[in-house]
Structure 1
Amino acid sequence: MSQRLSQIAFSVSDLRRSHQWYQDLFGFTPAGGTESFKGWACSTVQGVPGARTTCWWLLDTQEQFQIELFEYERPESRPLPADWRMCDIGYNLVGIHVPDFDAALQRAMRLNAPLVGDIVGAPGQRRACLRDPDGALLELMEDDPRATNPRLRPSGGERSTVRFITLSVMDLEQSRDFFRNALQMQEAQDVDLHGPEHEALWGLQGAERKSALYWADDILIEVVQYLSPQGRAQPADYRISDLGILNIAFGFRQESELRRVFNRTVNAGAKPNFPVPISVFNWAVMYVNDPQGFSFELLSVRPYYDGQMGFTPKHFDTLVHHQVLIEAPRELIWGVLANHAGIGDWWCYKGKLLKEGQEHPAGVGALRQLTRFGEKVVEEVMTFEPLQRMDYRLISGAPVKFHFGRIDLSTAADGRVFVDYSIRFKAKIPGTQWLMRLIIGGRMKRATKRLKTLCEQRSRDAFGASASRAT
């Protein structure tokens, strides 16, 4: 049996933004997170001096697989170079099968994630590429490489499924040797993942390359060496904490299995970040670096400990949520919500627009300041879909972190407008989560009631004025 791929990890600049973005685009499910990856242990395992990070997990449809998102407090995560290309050396592409290709493209447009290159392929086999909020390249797949040999999955529905990851390497034969001898993986002969036509997806039409494919249980690992154009090496000061795809992890259920693979990788020339795996009884871990410098994580987790390690659905933070039906025109309600300076008409804060957004003063990128009895809060608009949705996040000024607010509008069967308002957050001060939930939830409940009263009154006033003019 092939090694199981259990994680694909990303370094992100804004954990809340990326976490929500992957949920909105692909339907991935939250699986908790941890703030304990810091200090000596984290630095030793990852090989990143002084590492201090928060990690959240997401699930697709597969067993014992997760998307892992790291936001580093330190060291500073440097962005991908502006002139980065698909052929450049590193982990450079993640492929995701989406159950409805056209719907996924529409969601990408709403999330301000335009396509990088062309859509390639006939109906049923279409592919497209886009970048996540930090520039990592993702391929959307209408076809599933597992279609000819389908496998039962524990979770299905409308969620997407990760299908491959691509590594661009300097020496394909050296990589083949490592995968064969250290990881004991055989090349996949039953699938043709990419052809020359697919280079248009990422803007390298006419590129020449050679590659090898490996099934890592249910996910493909594609190892590519570009012959023309040749890939540029990673900077001498590159760290895996830099933004983008961080590494991949092979998963095991027994620590003894991890140690056997660990020893084989070392014997094959890999350099571990510590002489032995670090073991914590229920799980064990170590990162190794292959002869070309690629980071691979080896992770064993006992099945009963999956929930603590992000392999079962769970939220990391607290949700406060209120809904209200408003008998007023949708345009009127949206006008109230999009008036950042006038937010005091229904929230308990006075508002001020500090910075106008893109395409609309209240749109994406808008900054608003909220004040109340000496309290000063700054928030940023992340998503702005007129008459439908607005997302925002806290920038500064409140004793919470990883804040994310969302207001959704829809039309109910009776013609009234359904306003769905939710806020997720984590308290900065340990032990105060319940108190912050009580305070924010109470303010939010009063705000939605005031919003209803205000909008319905303005609607009645407008109707009365219209009736007077008509007579």
Structure 2
Amino acid sequence: MPSSLGAYVSQIAFSVRNLEHAVRFYRDTFRLRDSGGTTAFRGPGAAYVQGVEGIASRTHWLQDDRSTLQLEFLQFEYPPLVPIPDSRRVCDIGMSRIAFTVPDLDACLARAAALGARAVGSIMTVAGGRRAVITDPDGVWIEITEDRRSGQSRVAGVALSVRSLSRALETYTTGMGLTAGDHADDGLDAQLGLAGAERAAVRIDGGPVWIELSEYRSPAPQPWREGHQLTDIGLSHVAVTAPSAEQAEGLFQRLYDGGWVRPNQPKPLRLGKLVSLMYGRDAEGFTLEMMHVAPVAHGILGFRPPRAADRWLLATLNAGAALLYG
């Protein structure tokens, strides 16, 4: 459900090595809907809002059956990409995994394997059904739980390994007005290769999806790499949507005033009442995007498949960006 301030998680973003391969992997493995893409995220506007000088990307969106949520895939042309290190563990600080529910686990795993996934551990039976863990071709951990009651694959949530659970929890609850609940350990750490791990964890109700916050006590997590950016390969950031541009900007200002988020830019990137975008980093070092996208603009920003007019506008924007910024 939306927060007491009207906000909800609307996007989970990836930085990928190969846009076409990543989109095909997630679209075909989880039977997701294609919601278009753009090459217009470049130039001074992109650098201003994302906080990285010279940033440029090709972008594509996928959705499950909900119009309120998207997966965003970005192949950054600049700065140079930094891959996920082979030594990375799920306890290390950062966005650790994405979770899906699927109606047929065996069929989903077969599709994933054919597209380059790697199995992690063995299939387990948990309260919600059978569960498997795989990595995508870029090395992102994916938790997949079977739910035979549903005929549709859905994004379930995203997990973060944090330095301070209390500090991260305050950002999402006190800062954003989202609600938190307990999270019982159901053997997932062992399935992820961390048998015997000790952690405190809480799941935030983000509306369409949950956000799991974990503070590992053992094994000790590795910190962010020096110079970490949202362009590093893997899960990049989450975005939170508010009902209006004014509410999105007010909520972001609230996060700034409370010391929970440091903005990348002094003012939002605003297109009238249609779009408002803000990026920042929270006290834990995670990138957070705050947005409002009016329904009329959903087709050009991946919240529904583009219609004819959307495709024309996207082509115009892409051509203009290419002409101005290469």
Give TM-score scaled by structure 2 length: 0.88
Match of 1:94 in 2: 98
Structure 1 pair 208/195, CA: closer, same or farther in 2 (3 Å)? same
> Is 1:212 aligned to 2:205, yes or no?
no
The verdict on how the C-alpha distance between 1:225 and 1:314 changes in structure 2, with shifts beyond 3 A counting, is same
TM-score normalised by L of structure 1: 0.62
| Alignment correspondent of 1:66 | 70
CA displacement at 1:44 relative to structure 2: 1.7
Q: Which amino acid is 1:168 matched to?
A: S
Q: Secondary structure at the match of 2:121?
A: coil
Q: Give me the CA root mean square deviation.
A: 2.2
Question: Percent of aligned positions with the same letter in both sequences?
Answer: 33
Match of 1:235 among 200, 225, 240: 225
Shift of 1:180: 2.2
CA 1:124–1:294: 2 relative to 1, 3 Å: closer
In structure 1, the partner of 2:42 is 38
Residues 1:121 and 2:111 aligned together: no
1:131 and 2:131 matched: no
Question: Any residues of structure 2 matched to 1:14-413 within 5 Å, and which?
Answer: 14-122=18-126, 125-143=129-147, 157=151, 159-188=152-181, 192=183, 195-269=185-259, 270-281=261-272, 282-314=274-306
Give 1:143 deviation, angstroms.
4.0
Contact 1:96 1:162 in 2 (8 A): yes
Amino acid at match of 1:273: N
8 Å CA contact 1:31–1:315 kept in 2: the answer is no
Q: Residues 268 and 306 from structure 1, CA distance in 2 versus in 1: closer, same or farther, beyond 3 angstroms?
A: same
- 2:12 maps to a residue whose letter is I
Structure 2 contact 300–306 (Cα < 8 Å) conserved: no
- Deviations along 1:145-202, one digit per CA (max 9) or x if unpaired, are xx8xxxxxxxx85x4111111010001111122222211222135xx4x515111221
Contact 1:59 1:313 (C-alpha < 8 Å) held by counterparts: no
**Superposition deviation, residue 82 in structure 1:** 1.0
Runs of 4+ in 1 over 4 A off after TM superposition: none
Q: Which amino acid aligns with 2:172?
A: F
Aligned residues of 2:249 and 2:276 also touching (Cα < 8 A): no
User: How much does 1:65 deviate?
Assistant: 0.8
Higher mean C-alpha displacement, 124-133 vs 240-249 = 124-133
Quick one: which amino acid aligns to residue 225 of structure 1? E
Q: Tell me by how many angstroms 1:28 deviates.
A: 0.9
1:205 deviates by: 0.9
1:423-459 per-residue CA deviation (whole Å, 9 max, x = no partner) reads: xxx9xx969xxxxxxxxxxxxxxxxxxxxxxxxxxxx
Gaps of 5+ in 2: 309-314, 321-326
- What do the CA deviations read for 1:8-63 (whole angstroms, capped 9, x no partner)? 00000100111111111001111111111001111121122210111110111112
Contact persistence 1:30–1:314 (CA under 8 A): no
CA contact (8 A) 1:10 1:68 kept: yes
Structure 2 vs 1, CA of residues 122 and 235 (structure 1 numbering), >3 Å: closer, same or farther? closer
| Alignment deviations for residues 332-365 of structure 1 (CA, whole Å, 9 cap, x no partner) | xxxxxxxxxxxxxxxxxxxxxxxxxxxxxxxxxx
| SS at 1:199 equivalent | helix
Stretches of structure 1 that go unaligned for 5 or more consecutive residues are 148-155, 317-425, 432-471
Letter in 1 for 2:294: R
Contact 1:181 1:264 in 2 (8 A): no
For the residues of structure 1 that align with 2:36 and 2:245, how far apart are their CA atoms? 23
Distance 1:180 1:122 in 2: 28
Structure label with greater radius of gyration = 1
Shift of 1:288: 1.6
Contact 2:104 2:147 in 1 (8 A): no
Give 1:358's aligned residue: none
